[in-house]
Chain A
Amino acid sequence: MAQVTAPSPARPVEVELRPAPPVDLGRAARLGLIGGVAMVLVAATGIVGTFQTRLLIDPILPLGLLFLYLLAFAFGWMAGKPPAALEGFAPARANSRNLVAGALAGALGGLCVGVLAALMSTFDLRGVFVQLSPQLLEILTFGLPLGAAIIAIVAISAVAGAIGAGVHLLPIRLKRSLLPALVWVMMFALFTDLVGQLFAGLSAEFLTDFLFTGRGGALTIVGAITVFIVVFVAYWLLGGRETTLRGRIEAMPRGQRTRFSLIAAAVILIILWFVPKVMGPFVSQVLDTAGIYLLMALGLNIVVGYAGMLDLGYVAFFAVGAYTGAILTSPQSPAFTPQLLLIVAIPFVMIAAALAGLMVATPVIRMRGDYLAIVTLGFGEIARILFNSEWLAPIFGGAQGITNIPDLRIGPLQLSTPQDYFYPIFLVVLIAAYVTYALQNSRWGRAWMAMREDESVAEAMGVNVVTAKLSAFVVGAVLASFGGALFGAQIGSVFPHSFDIVVSVTVLVIIIVGGMGSVPGVALGALVLIVLPNLLREFSQYQFLFYGVLLIVMMLTKPEGFIPSKRRAQELHADELSQDAWLDIYGDKPTTDATTTEPPR
């Protein structure tokens, strides 16, 4: 019997609690230096310089320096965080020492930037980092002489770090109102176009005029304060209750929960219906792109998330869909011009994609894990090179691609604008989401998962792994091909360079960041990775930097993704579940079924 030291909630054991250990200043110093490296990198990659001209709040807050000191804030927050409550210790309380830790981390971070500034003023570093220009030095030093500037940078960073640590000292209700308010101000300031478009769509331009310096301008001080107060008051009145909404939904009886989800789904559908009408062509275009990526992510989720086969050449199926659609519908197709309507061509697109899926899957049936990933990576590239080749140019048009693809027409409805395309794309996404759900709890869905867990055992338990692998590839391919066909019709042309390896990687990152195997997670992943970078057009040159940082941070802190499927969350936090045994002993396991009477020994 394992030694049971943990006091069970059911039988509280009187234990003298030792005082919590104080916050670790050594750790704070280490975090500060890491933060310093991050701050230096932000400066060296040019983010500070690029965004200095973008005013978040007119006229006081330029985005470039804010980025720098937000890092000091974040690392101060981490450094000042009270350690997690341990067995036998009183819960840690934040005190002035936490503030010191935050300030220390911030100051060390600032010192790194100061050193950078000193180096920049002594040497010309532009040979290595192009972005380390005199203008950047000017920005970093606020135009002060070097000594004064370093003191100023360290001081500001220390204050930012201390404020970050100070968050832990706030009462919980204040914290839960203050942080969302700040986040909302940030969102209003960052997504000025989006907010302006939204107000225009709702014929509420007077709000734009009130909050911003003009149409398309930056947030004003008055605007920022207004947004802050409105959000703060709203959250204060909610009293932090919104965090338990999910819990309350889960506590509902089954019937009520079903009704609630139905109503929620209906509301979401109605909102979706109005989204393109309100948001205009630019946002709709972004959402269309996100929808196509989401469709691919749902398909790849079946191959990678369910069947456990890492496919790095998934873009090939997207390309097959796009090219098949283009050849069958466009009058400009080089070899074969049946000029079908897209809606008629769709079954042929599906067949072509299914064949492509079989073609890729057949040679890789006997491969597992890394080998499979490498081979599929090769297939993805082969597909792109074939579409690009002179050899097949008489069919696929080579580098010129296929142009003049007619717009999608459904009966009398002729779609043309991005707003129009929003509806078919999201209809297909909904269908794909349904298919994903339906397959998950089916005979083959279970076979895929069994194969993912242990291929030899799955086979020994009666799963025909050849069929399972082929079918997973085919389903994934067909879903991607829908995306390809819609993509071609919407853009009006297909070119080989649209089907780069980057697309495969992006789709994979969407799944990993969102939550493998989880449909809401994948949707959120597409939103974060496609919609945000496209809405913040200034960021587009840093898009992949953003992906990389996000991926690393996610792997370190939340490897199961934003909205994980239940099983994956449990798997990656298995150590937290391993007290299962003593939970049983103490009988406080939530029993969902009255038949469980005898606790196992």
Chain B
Amino acid sequence: MSLLSIESISKAFGGLRAINSLNIEVDQGEIVSVIGPNGAGKTTFFNLVTGMETPDSGNIVFDGHNVVGLRPNQILELGLARTFQNVRLFPTMTVKENVMVGQHCRGKAGLIGAIFKTKSQRSEEARIEARAEEVLSFFGTRLAGYRHDQLAFVLSYANRRRLEIARAMATEPRLLLLDEPTAGMNPRETIELTELIGRLRDEKGYTIVIIEHDMQVVKNVSDRVIVLDHGEKLTEGTYDEVSTNEAVIEAYLGRPSERR
């Protein structure tokens, strides 16, 4: 049974059909890339899955639960975390605090516990902190040491992207949605991140859906590629199948003019 199955969802913004009866299946342990020209509905697809937008029709079934209509935080608790295309960190919180927010949904401590510093609250805080440090250590020295206590906005662009992934990892997800993780990175950083995505699956066991424009990255990481255009699935298959598909080429490059 697939981990995530999208059953003919549609979403329109006014007259614009952003997503039109889309069907997608994602299996446990897969890395699936979603590609498509600008405005194809890729980010809207992520927003629908994570509950930030509600579909007009259709079902989104994650691990046996229909998540349509749930609030984003409830969906996240089920194990579905994301990053954002235009990095959206908590800029004036420290690197570690950013990641600790990711652990919020896995904690229980309330206000009273925090005020009276109860035993369970203290042990939970310690656990959250340890977990945050563990997640940050996944990025080697990139987000280590003194960086823990730096505010997020002083980080370099690439490190902000890493921190966003770290924050999503801290929520202990089963499915990770990465929205253009290599956008704006230089070639070396892109290669490093490509390796990291592979490690996320192999070491952490996440299933990953990734929106990406860099075809080299798509080629290197994906088990399967889904092509969206005008809110509809154009085709899907391995990278080689998709990259030679005429409809895909047409969608990206345009139809050759009839009258030459």
B228-259, CB < 8 A from A:
none
Question: In the complex, what's the smallest C-beta–C-beta distance from A443 to chain B, in angstroms?
Answer: 5
Contact with A along B161-187 (1 / 0, CB 8 A): 000000110010000000000000000
Pairs A–B under 8 Å by Cβ, sample size 18: A439-B114, A442-B109, A442-B125, A443-B128, A444-B114, A446-B104, A454-B88, A454-B90, A459-B71, A460-B52, A461-B73, A462-B73, A462-B171, A571-B92, A592-B149, A593-B144, A596-B141, A600-B158
Specify the chain B residue showing the minimal Cβ separation from A465.
B73
Binds A, one of B21-29, B57-65, B94-102: B94-102
Question: In the complex, what's the smallest C-beta–C-beta distance from B92 to chain A, in angstroms?
Answer: 5
Question: In the complex, what's the smallest C-beta–C-beta distance from A481 to chain B, in angstroms?
Answer: 16
* A567-B92, A567-B151 known; A443+B156 contact, CB < 8 A: no
Question: In the complex, what's the smallest C-beta–C-beta distance from B137 to chain A, in angstroms?
Answer: 10
Contact in complex: B115, A461 (CB < 8 Å):
no
Chain B residues near A446 (CB, 8 Å)? 93, 97, 100-101, 104
Question: In the complex, what's the smallest C-beta–C-beta distance from A564 to chain B, in angstroms?
Answer: 11
Number of A-B contacts (CB under 8 A): 140
Binds A, one of B8-16, B35-43, B76-84, B210-218: B76-84
B121 in the interface (beta carbon within 8 A) = yes
Contact in complex: A463, B104 (CB < 8 Å):
yes
CA distance A581 to B160 in the complex (A): 13
A577-591, CB < 8 A from B:
577-578, 580-581, 589-591
Contact with A along B128-156 (1 / 0, CB 8 A): 10000000000001101111110101101
B1 in the interface (beta carbon within 8 A) = no
Chain A residues near B104 (CB, 8 Å)? 443, 446-447, 450, 461-463
CA distance A450 to B102 in the complex (A): 10
Interface of A is mostly: helix
Question: In the complex, what's the smallest C-beta–C-beta distance from A188 to chain B, in angstroms?
Answer: 41
Contact in complex: A595, B115 (CB < 8 Å):
no
CA distance A523 to B106 in the complex (A): 35
Contact in complex: A596, B145 (CB < 8 Å):
yes
CA distance A578 to B80 in the complex (A): 34
CA distance A571 to B151 in the complex (A): 9
Which of A444, A445, A577, A600 interacts with B159 by CB under 8 Å? A600
CA distance A462 to B77 in the complex (A): 7
Chain A residues near B84 (CB, 8 Å)? 457
A156 in the interface (beta carbon within 8 A) = no
A442-477, CB < 8 A from B:
442-447, 449-450, 453-454, 456-465, 471, 475
Chain B residues near A581 (CB, 8 Å)? 156
CA distance A578 to B77 in the complex (A): 36
Contact in complex: B90, A453 (CB < 8 Å):
yes
B20 in the interface (beta carbon within 8 A) = no
Contact in complex: A460, B124 (CB < 8 Å):
no
Chain A residues near B115 (CB, 8 Å)? 435, 438-439
Ranked nearest first, the 6 interchain pairs of A and B with the lowest CB-CB distance are A462-B105, A596-B145, A442-B114, A593-B145, A453-B90, A462-B76
Question: In the complex, what's the smallest C-beta–C-beta distance from B132 to chain A, in angstroms?
Answer: 10
Contact in complex: A567, B111 (CB < 8 Å):
no
Interface of B is mostly: helix
CA distance A439 to B110 in the complex (A): 10
B205 in the interface (beta carbon within 8 A) = no
Chain A residues near B92 (CB, 8 Å)? 449, 453, 567-568, 570-571
A597 in the interface (beta carbon within 8 A) = yes
Contact in complex: A461, B114 (CB < 8 Å):
no
Contact in complex: B72, A460 (CB < 8 Å):
yes
Contact in complex: B88, A462 (CB < 8 Å):
no
* A471-B111, A598-B141, A600-B156 known; A443+B76 contact, CB < 8 A: no
Contact in complex: B76, A460 (CB < 8 Å):
yes
Specify the chain B residue showing the minimal Cβ separation from A471.
B111
A17 in the interface (beta carbon within 8 A) = no
CA distance A571 to B89 in the complex (A): 14
Contact in complex: B101, A458 (CB < 8 Å):
yes
Contact in complex: B97, A449 (CB < 8 Å):
yes
Chain A residues near B147 (CB, 8 Å)? 596
Chain A residues near B154 (CB, 8 Å)? 570, 574, 577-578, 580
Report which residue of B92, B117, B149, B167 has the largest number of chain A beta carbons within 10 angstroms of its beta carbon: B92
Contact in complex: B73, A464 (CB < 8 Å):
yes
* A442-B121, A443-B109, A460-B76 known; A453+B93 contact, CB < 8 A: yes
Specify the chain B residue showing the minimal Cβ separation from A578.
B154
A150-201, CB < 8 A from B:
none
Report which residue of A445, A568, A593, A600 has the largest number of chain B beta carbons within 10 angstroms of its beta carbon: A600
Chain B residues near A593 (CB, 8 Å)? 144-146, 148
Question: In the complex, what's the smallest C-beta–C-beta distance from B234 to chain A, in angstroms?
Answer: 28
CA distance A41 to B91 in the complex (A): 42
Question: In the complex, what's the smallest C-beta–C-beta distance from B163 to chain A, in angstroms?
Answer: 12
Extra A-B contacts (15), CB below 8 Å, given A447-B104, A450-B93, A571-B91: A439-B111, A443-B124, A457-B88, A457-B90, A460-B51, A462-B105, A463-B73, A463-B105, A567-B94, A571-B92, A574-B154, A580-B156, A591-B145, A593-B145, A597-B141
